[in-house]
Amino acid sequence: MKSDGNETTPDSEFSMDFFSNTTRSDGDVQFLDTTLRDGEQAPGISLSPDQKADIARRLDRAGVAAIEAGSACTSAAERETIRRVTSLGLDARITSFCRGVQRDVDLALDCDVDGVHIVVPASDRHVEGKVGSTREEVVETTAELVAYAKEHDLWVEVIGEDGSRADYDYLEAQAEAAFEAGADRFCYADTVGHASPEEVYRGVARLADHGPVSVHTHDDLGLAVTNALAGLAAGADLVHGTVNGIGERAGNVALEEVAIALWHCYGVEPMATESLYDLAAAVSEATGIPLPPNKAVSGENAFAHESGIHTDGTLKDERMYEPYPPEAVGRERRLVLGKHAGRAGVRAALAEHDVELDDDALAAVVERVKTLGEKGRRVTDADLLTIAEDVRGRSRERRVELLDLTAASGSGTPSASIRLRVDDDERTAAGTGSGPVDAALGATRRALGSEFSFHLESYHVDAITGGTDAVVTVDVEVSRGDHSVSVSASDADITVASVTAVLDALDRLLPEADAEDAVPADD
């Protein structure tokens, strides 16, 4: 295809046959993660040194080849954070972003990084409009900076900024000059997410004739993953990406999505796929950006099935309605109950809690589950078990109940005190924490003691109504031993809702008192 920097036309040579146009072996494909630099540039994100160190360790354990720890030129605090990452002794190459000036390279050297990304303008819009220079001056400066960085034993990648809108003859001249000066690779950057897959393929193919090429894509057109794959098909061997696709505007290409596409579609595994979900969850927690429910790989619904037809099919064959098993990315399959639930799904959900019903009782439970789902309500495990008990005409006496809760926060340390009924006893305890919810849950654990221990698997604030009398809904999943249960609780006070949900879940996980007394203890 041809480009004048703004428009493209089809190219008959474009092919997505992944390895048909390159002699590169699949083992050569690697990732450079830029979550700590490009990802942090998304509005509202500021990662602490501890958070960056934690994410870097996780990326390293996952097998990511290179980690861009930040921009040394940003500030003294940023340089200290980069030093924190470089001191971890990771196997991954640790790098810093540098503008096309020697001072930036010097600042990166002071952080003890393994390499640098020297970013230089590639499109005329950037050469002339952004830095007020000329093509010739940029090429000359690039060669000088590369030679300087190599003299100081740095790994060097040159990034042609806005390369997808550059004149490709000039982009090639940039790459050729960089390689002649000693650069280790040149990056094709679709800086504003402008390019089509055909355009990326064409640009990377031309650059790959001169040396190793990486590809850096953004998702402004929703094509980031496709464009990254097109770059690999054209001869690139390294992909820049961020965890969860965080980044400026619509974000960078999502590292986990490229990883699973390579593994599933092409048999290529540039990182440990089973670590993808934990990595995504950790970055989501650190940044405060929630994972969209329908997000590939890491979204809550990625391996969830509610439809009766889908649930029935999945119970018969786990791969019936999934492209790959959830274990491949560190997930578990979930059968969700709602308005589309069927008999097979409800029966399976009840079986997880050792509840069996005859056909008539099961039909009644299914109907009530559907009715609850039609009201827009998420049907939790606690809802299902309560419905089943009601259909069977049974009542269940609670073993754990909240009697009183007081929580305080402000300029001091958040604290909480709690009073519970546990079987026939009243228990009280107090605790402190990072916030009132944390303090209240700490007090709850102390009041319950070790004999009623539990693990909070997930905690999610599901919905908040508007107005000064807002009601918050908290969803939790709590486990005890090999069993877990999901519960939802609502209250005007998020602390009360949180403790209520956890205690309701724990109460469901405890055996009924009479049944527990009737079973003799093992010798």
What is d(CA 510, CA 492) in angstroms, rounded to the nearest whole number?
28
Question: In the chain, what percentage of residues exceed pLDDT 70?
Answer: 86
pLDDT, residue 343, reads 80
What is d(CA 511, CA 520) in angstroms, rounded to the nearest whole number?
14
pLDDT tens digits for range 480-497: 887 788 888 888 899 999
pLDDT tens digits for range 93-109: 999 999 999 999 999 99
Mean pLDDT of 450-458: 89
Please give the order of strands across the beta sheet that includes 415-422. 400-408, 415-422, 425-432
pLDDT, residue 475, reads 86
Mean pLDDT of 505-521: 63
Range of weakest confidence among 171-180, 336-345, 362-371: 336-345
Confidence of residue 513 (pLDDT cuts 50, 70, 90): low
Residue 466 has pLDDT above 70, yes or no: no
Pairing of strands 415-422, 425-432: antiparallel
pLDDT, residue 15, reads 58
Confidence of residue 465 (pLDDT cuts 50, 70, 90): low
Phi, psi for residue 59 in degrees, rounded to 5: -60, -40
Count of C-beta atoms within a 10 Å radius of residue 305? 23
Both tokens of residue 131? 């830095």
On average, the pLDDT of the chain sits at: 86
What is d(CA 245, CA 39) in angstroms, rounded to the nearest whole number?
8
Domains, the chain, ranges and CATH? Answer: 26-287 (3.20.20.70), 304-391 (no CATH), 400-511 (3.30.160.270)
pLDDT tens digits for range 254-269: 999 999 999 999 999 9
pLDDT, residue 388, reads 81
Phi, psi for residue 84 in degrees, rounded to 5: -60, -40
Range of weakest confidence among 47-61, 235-249, 382-396, 480-494: 382-396
Residue 522 has pLDDT above 60, yes or no: no
Confidence of residue 511 (pLDDT cuts 50, 70, 90): confident
pLDDT, residue 3, reads 41
Phi, psi for residue 46 in degrees, rounded to 5: -145, 110
Q: How far is CA 79 from the centre of its chain?
A: 26
pLDDT tens digits for range 36-90: 999 999 999 999 999 999 999 999 999 999 999 999 999 999 999 999 999 999 9
- Model confidence, pTM: 0.74
Residue 345 has pLDDT above 80, yes or no: no
Sign of CA dihedral 451, 456, 461, 462: negative
pLDDT, residue 2, reads 38
Residue 332 has pLDDT above 50, yes or no: yes
